[in-house]
Amino acid sequence: MKAIVIRTAATGALLLGFLLWMYGGARAGFYQTFYRVRHFDEILEIEHFEEVEALLPGIETLGAGVAAFFFLSLWGNLLERRSAA
C-alpha cells in the first residue's frame, strides 16, 4: 500500500513539474525574473523596450520534476520488493 502512494506522488511530482514549466511558457533557458516588452512610439518613430518583473520558470523546473519522479519511483520499487521478500 505504501509503495502505491509513493508511486502516485512520483507521478504527481512529474506532472506538477511539467505543468509549472508549461505555465511559464516552456522556456528552454533558466529562471528569469523579468521579460522585455517592445514599445514603439508612433510619433517619434522610436522603438524602446520595457522590462516587466515576473518570475518565469525555466527548464530546471521540468528537470526537478523528472528527478523527483525517478527518485520516488525507485523508492516505491524498493519498498515493494522489501514487502514481497
How far is Cα 2 from Cα 10, in angstroms, rounded to an integer? 12
| Beta carbons within 10 angstroms of residue 13's beta carbon | 20
Res. 1: pLDDT tops 80: no
Res. 35: pLDDT tops 90: no
Res. 33: pLDDT tops 90: no
pLDDT at 8: 93
**Mean local confidence (pLDDT), 4-21:** 93
How far is Cα 63 from Cα 79, in angstroms, rounded to an integer? 24
How far is Cα 79 from Cα 21, in angstroms, rounded to an integer? 30
pLDDT higher at 66 or 2: 66
Mean pLDDT of the chain: 90
